[in-house]
Structure 1
C-alpha cells in the first residue's frame, strides 16, 4: 500500500472516531440527538470517506510545497 493511501485511511479513521466521540459526548452532556446509533455510524462513515478523500488529494500538494 502506498504511504499516501495508508495515511489517508488513517486520517479517515481519526475523523470518524472524533465524530463519534463528539456525538457521544453530546448525548451524555446535552441530550438526545435526532439520529440513533445506526444514524451516527452512517454519518461517521460519510465523515471517514470525506476526510480520507480530502487528505488523499491535499497531502501530495502540501508535500510538494514543503508544508508537511
Structure 2
C-alpha cells in the first residue's frame, strides 16, 4: 500500500475516534441525545473529510 494512502487512512481513524469522544462528552455534559442516524452520517463525513484533507495536505507539504 502506498504510504501516503496508508497515512491518510490512519489519520481518518484518528479523526473519527476524536469526533466520537467529543460527541459523547457533549452528550454527557448537555444531556441531549442525538439520533443514531445523525451520528453515523456525521461520523462518515468526518472520516472522509479527514482522509481527503490529509491526503491533499501530504501532497502539498512534500
| TM-score under structure 1 length normalisation | 0.81
Stretches of structure 2 that go unaligned for 5 or more consecutive residues are none
Count, aligned residues: 62
Once the two structures are superposed, the pairs formed by residues 1-68 of structure 1 within 5 Å of their partners are 1-33=1-33, 35-63=34-62
Post-superposition, which runs of at least 4 consecutive aligned residues in structure 1 deviate over 4 A?
A: none
The answer for unaligned runs of 5 or more in structure 1 is 64-68
Task: Report the TM-score when normalising by structure 2.
Answer: 0.88
Q: Which has the higher helix share?
A: 2
Indicate the RMSD between aligned Cα atoms, in angstroms: 1.2
Larger Rg over CA atoms: 1
Q: Higher relative contact order by CA 8 Å / sep ≥ 6: 1 or 2? A: 2
